[in-house]
Structure 1
Amino acid sequence: MALRILITNDDGVDAPGIAVMAEIARAISDDVWIVAPDGNQSGAGHRFTFGRELSYKELGARRFSVKGGSPADCVVAGMTHILGDRPADLVLSGVNAGQNLGDIVNCSGTAAGAREGVLQGAVGIAMSQSMDYEVSHTPDWSNASRFGAEVVSAIMVAHGGDDVFYNVNFPFCGTTEVTGISAVPHQRFSRSPIRYYPSDNEGQFFMAIPETPLPLDPKADFEVLRRGNAITVTPFALQQTHDGALARLGNIVLKGLEEK
């Protein structure tokens, strides 16, 4: 039985990157479904739409859009309804226009699509094509197109049933300049990179990433992608409990209860 693949993204169902992802998926399987937001949901994180009705529209064979839905909404709709009695084995989220690195993954709708895929019982892989915004705001999809299917296949072989989702970033360079694939930790920034950014319109402002917090770990995703021209892959654990803090909290005693 062919691997069943569900694709989503946060750039919208008509974004160029999702067409690239469909090519990647179809190089692996002929059982490929797309359920994606009808518009841009960048920065949506793992938001769910509660308390408001959603609707979906069939755009073509195995291709659906969810009106106003987040990537997480789309994965849930696909895995628990649209795909019928057989949910996907693999959820691919992206290919995002622009890198998803470091702590930015925490607010990434692309990452959330892959994370929700794992929560729904599939393997989840988020994929992003990096860009040099000083050169162009239009991504070159060559590396994602050239290496995407091989990267997905390699991750599936190495997966081993781990309770993780995978975050993949393709470097901004020519395909002949790619140095390989590197399994790396994510960059934990010294502070959040998200900042208040003033608008030219009086009284208005943006949420933006005006600069990268320093210092940067040369062995983490940010620098390996940027300076090493490597495809980076980072596994993110879904069990987020910190064992050290859990142990320290276990020693807490409430004096008020002792006095009773």
Structure 2
Amino acid sequence: MATPALAQARNIVIANDDGLTSNVVALYKALKAEGHDVIVSVPCSGQSGMGGAVRFMRPIGPLAQDCHNAAAKKGDPGVGPISREGIPARDFNYVDGTPVMALLYGLDIAAQKRWGKAPDLVLSGPNEGQNLGQISVSSGTVNVVQYASARGIPAVALSAGADTADDENLANPKSARVAALTAQLVDALQAGADDKPLLPAHVSLNVNFPDDLSRDAWAPTEVGTYNAYTVRFAEDMSQSPLARATGAGNQELPGVVIDMNNAEPDSSQEDDESVVVRNAITISVMQPGFGTHDGLGGGILHQLAERLSSGN
């Protein structure tokens, strides 16, 4: 007779855009402790900002260099089980490619070999840094979820503070806290699903954890128009505080930079995830693709059709 935990066990694929991290290891352990069957499939190296990029029709050969955090070594196959000591190779995989490519390996190869079908849930992250507002368009963490959701697989993007990293030991205490909160979220999704999918078809979630994890308040939000970060092309990257802090702005060279948005939100932006995340864990709904879901697109197309037909 199955235990209560195992009776609610789900097949879960974890992907991300950071590679092998403390956050991924902690989330894997938390979900396994709940009785879930978990496959991890992550990029060999950090791929932040790669969005939905895919290297189509290009074979993946042996590694030209070591993977992030010793996940695999130079000369190893371009795709395979993670070989770092202490990491269960049966469940952890790397792909020398983009975040979406790592997800696709998890779905099309690893999941099919393990379960013979798609997983019940895809979790992307937790990212080392929040994905809020406009910058989410470039996020590999978020685009992993967009790809999974487009296939009809329930999916959740998870992002935490940049201070959740721990490359040496893969054991940041904040990672464990984020993992425990994520396990609570999975339990809550299960409580409302019974034997149905954990989310409606083609609906996904963007979840962001604040830097301060002492509170566990959850808040429904929307992506909105307020952005925690500004993204711009700079003729001189050394003028960007964040570029200098990361070492990218050590020389007076051009490039794309990210800076904190110091402007305060207006009254219409108070429910945006970029604002609420200061004090709570935010949950926003996303849908994949470029279609409209409120009838707006049909109205525009009808008007255009009339004008084009009349020659105006």
- TM-score, structure 2 length as denominator? 0.71
Task: Structure 1: give runs of 5+ residues left out of the alignment.
Answer: none
Higher mean alpha-carbon deviation, 70-79 vs 40-49, is at: 70-79
Report the alpha carbon displacement of residue 171 of structure 1 after superposing the two structures with TM. Answer: 1.5
Task: Say whether the 8 Å CA contact 1:101–1:221 is kept in structure 2.
Answer: yes
% identity of equivalent residues: 24
Cα distance in 1 for partners of 2:220, 2:190 equals: 14
Cα distance in 2 for partners of 1:214, 1:184 equals: 20
**In the alignment, which of 232, 238, 251 is matched to residue 282 of structure 2?**
232
Task: Say whether the 8 Å CA contact 2:153–2:202 is kept in structure 1.
Answer: no
Task: Say whether the 8 Å CA contact 2:26–2:179 is kept in structure 1.
Answer: yes
More strand by share: 1
Cα distance in 2 for partners of 1:156, 1:188 equals: 31
Gap change, CA 1:57 and 1:232, over 3 Å in 2: same
Task: Say whether the 8 Å CA contact 1:143–1:171 is kept in structure 2.
Answer: no
The 5 A counterparts of 1:21-40 are 21-40=27-46
Task: Say whether the 8 Å CA contact 1:10–1:109 is kept in structure 2.
Answer: yes
Report the alpha carbon displacement of residue 200 of structure 1 after superposing the two structures with TM. Answer: 3.5
The 5 A counterparts of 1:1-260 are 2-12=9-19, 14-54=20-60, 55-59=78-82, 60-67=89-96, 69-84=97-112, 85-131=116-162, 140-141=174-175, 143-158=177-192, 159-175=198-214, 177-178=215-216, 180-189=217-226, 193-197=230-234, 198=237, 199-202=249-252, 204-212=253-261, 214-216=263-265, 217-226=269-278, 229-238=279-288, 240-242=290-292, 243-253=295-305
Cα distance in 2 for partners of 1:215, 1:237 equals: 28
Cα distance in 1 for partners of 2:288, 2:103 equals: 17
Report the alpha carbon displacement of residue 145 of structure 1 after superposing the two structures with TM. Answer: 3.0
Runs ≥4 in structure 1, deviation > 3 angstroms?
Answer: 27-30, 136-140, 155-160, 189-192, 253-259
What number of residue pairs does the alignment pair up? 249
Report the alpha carbon displacement of residue 190 of structure 1 after superposing the two structures with TM. Answer: 7.6
Report the alpha carbon displacement of residue 119 of structure 1 after superposing the two structures with TM. Answer: 2.2
Give the partner amino acid of 1:236. M
Tell me how large the CA RMSD over aligned residues is: 2.7
Task: Say whether the 8 Å CA contact 1:190–1:215 is kept in structure 2.
Answer: no
Report the alpha carbon displacement of residue 193 of structure 1 after superposing the two structures with TM. Answer: 2.3
Task: Structure 2: give runs of 5+ residues left out of the alignment.
Answer: 1-6, 61-77, 83-88, 167-171, 193-197, 238-248
